[in-house]
Structure 1
Amino acid sequence: MRPTQFVLNAAKKKSGFSVPVELTPLFLAMGVALASGTWFSYKKFFHDDSLRVSRKNPEQSALDKVLNQKAE
C-alpha cells in the first residue's frame, strides 16, 4: 500500500513561524488593550482643556508671571 499525496503533505513539517492556536486570544486581548490605551491617551491629551501641554490657552500658564517677577 502506497501513501497518497495528501498523507505525505500532512506529514511534512511546516516551514516558517507558526503561532500556536492557544495564543490567539492572548494576542487579540493585548491588541484591544493597546488600541484602547492609545485611543484614551490621545483623547485625554488632545481634548482636555485643563492640561497645560501646549500654548493653546496662555491664560492657564504661569510662565509670563514668573518671568515678569524676575525682571522686576
Structure 2
Amino acid sequence: MRPAQLLLNQAKKGSGIGIPVELTPLFIAMGLALASGTYFTYKKFRHDDSLRVTKNPEMSNLKKVLAESENKE
C-alpha cells in the first residue's frame, strides 16, 4: 500500500505553470492582435510623410501663424 501512495503523490505534482488548455486559443489570438497592431503602428509612424512626427519644415504653418499675429498687432 505504501508504494501506491508514493506514486499517487508524484502524479499529483504538476510540472510548469498551471494554465488551462482551453485558454491557448485566446493567448494565440491576443498575441496575433498585439503583433499586428505593433507592426501597423510602426509602419504608419515610420513611412507616412504627412504625419508631423519627423521634422518636415515644408509642412509647418509656423511662419504663417507668426506673420498673422504680427499683422494683428
TM range (shorter): 0.7 to 0.9
Length-normalised TM-score, structure 2? 0.74
- Give the whole-Å Cα distance in 1 for the aligned partners of 2:60 and 2:21: 53
1:19 aligns with 2:58: no
Matched residue, 1:68: 67
State, as a whole percentage, how many aligned pairs show the same letter: 63
- Aligned CA-pair RMSD: 2.4
Q: Shift of residue 16 of structure 1? A: 8.2
Length-normalised TM-score, structure 1? 0.75
Gaps of 5+ in 1: none
Q: Shift of residue 26 of structure 1? A: 0.5
Matched residue, 1:37: 37
Q: Shift of residue 6 of structure 1? A: 3.5
Gaps of 5+ in 2: none
- Give the whole-Å Cα distance in 1 for the aligned partners of 2:22 and 2:5: 31
- Give the whole-Å Cα distance in 2 for the aligned partners of 1:61 and 1:6: 75
Structure with the bigger percentage of helix: 2
Q: Shift of residue 13 of structure 1? A: 5.1
Flag as ranges the 4+ runs of structure 1 deviating above 3 A.
4-7, 13-17
- Give the whole-Å Cα distance in 1 for the aligned partners of 2:46 and 2:66: 27
Deviations 1:15-70 (A, max 9, x none): 98511011011111101110110110011012101112332x11112122111221
